[in-house]
Structure 1
Amino acid sequence: MTEYFLVGKIVSAEGDKGFLKIDSFSESLERYSKLKKVYLDFWGEKKVFSLQSVKKKKENILLKFENFNDKESVGVLIGKEIFVDDKDLLKLPKEHYFIHDIIGSKVYRNNVEYGEVTDVYSMPGNDIYVIRKTSGEEILIPAVHEFIESIDTLTKVLILKSGEGIYEDDED
């Protein structure tokens, strides 16, 4: 079964030739320029759209789909979320992870299960992992080397460093 991954959202029409301005969640023109197709969500069903053109205008990424040649024809697409399938995901550099690979990971500290990653907040400096501890309490951990020992996305295991004084519950 094909998996789909959210990469952006259409925010408005741009000009009168069928271009669409998008809010890109990957912040990379390269992410779109290598694609031949994307999927848009219509009431829970993914529909394929062939990309005709991708360009950057100032800080914005603009997409143009085949057979959508004017402002009127793209109106129905505004507000739609943009997805790619698992075959079109970008390859990430070492120690970079997709959010969907982190969420659901079991978290260990001092060789004891500590909790599970339930969400990831993307912040300007670094991501923040939301961890629901085994006690039910929710804590926030910066996704930086000072806190994270290792991440294995295949087994969905995240190991926290055991350093004293960096966690509120150092009695663990």
Structure 2
Amino acid sequence: MTEWFKVGKIVNTHGVRGEIRVISSTDFADDRYQVGTKLMIKNENENKEISVVVRHHRRHKNFDLLEFEGYHSINDVEQFKGSTLYVSEEYLEELEENEFYYHEIIGSTVITESGEELGKVKEIFETGANDVWVVQRLGGGKDILLPYIEDVVKDIDLENKVIRVHLLEGLAE
């Protein structure tokens, strides 16, 4: 059975020629949305899955704009608004040391160097300088924003999904 990994959220259509606007949750957008790549569109509300093939990709402002083979008008893609985009594991490539896919980090437990559990990584976003990991605190409260830098992230155990961090002053307040 093929495993699928989330790469973005379809937030709207763009123009009248069948383009969709995507907020990506992958740092390999050019690879994920390469012409000819097969993607899965899942609408969790309707429990519906549609397989599509990328026909065109471009960046516009903070969005990725995609067109799919066989979908040529706004009427064809209107149904995809609010859906999630997934890529098959067959399109994933080996990463170099100390590089990780978002799906490997999201859901990991974050602990301090002293062993205190802070919460779980629920989201990752790019800022330009470095990625920021959003940690949902145990028991609620305001999320912790952790920059993915050497001074903060000390160890990543993918097998056990545990990340050990050094909290710089002001990060957890």
| TM-score, L = length of structure 2 | 0.69
* Aligned position for 2:7: 7
SS at match of 1:130: strand
The alpha-carbon deviation at position 145 of structure 1 amounts to 1.2
Structure exhibiting the larger radius of gyration computed from Cα positions: 1
Change (3 A) 1:105 1:89: farther
Unmatched segments (≥5 aa) in structure 2:
none
Aligned counterpart for 1:105 among listed residues 80, 103, 109: 109
Do structure 1's residue 152 and structure 2's residue 152 form an aligned pair? no
Change (3 A) 1:34 1:109: farther
Instruction: Supply the RMSD in Å over aligned alpha carbons.
Output: 3.5
Q: Distance in 1 between matches of 2:111 and 2:48?
A: 33
SS at match of 2:108: coil
Q: Which amino acid aligns with 2:156?
A: I
* Aligned position for 1:61: 64
C-alpha distance after superposition, 1:30-80 (max 9, x if no partner): 3211652111113234321222x1232544533222221222222222332
Aligned counterpart for 1:87 among listed residues 87, 90, 99: 90
Q: Distance in 2 between matches of 1:68 and 1:34?
A: 14
Unmatched segments (≥5 aa) in structure 1:
none
Q: Distance in 1 between matches of 2:117 and 2:137?
A: 5
SS at match of 2:32: helix
| TM-score, L = length of structure 1 | 0.69
Q: Distance in 2 between matches of 1:95 and 1:159?
A: 14
The alpha-carbon deviation at position 6 of structure 1 amounts to 1.8
**Paired residue total:** 162
Percent identical pairs in the alignment equals 21
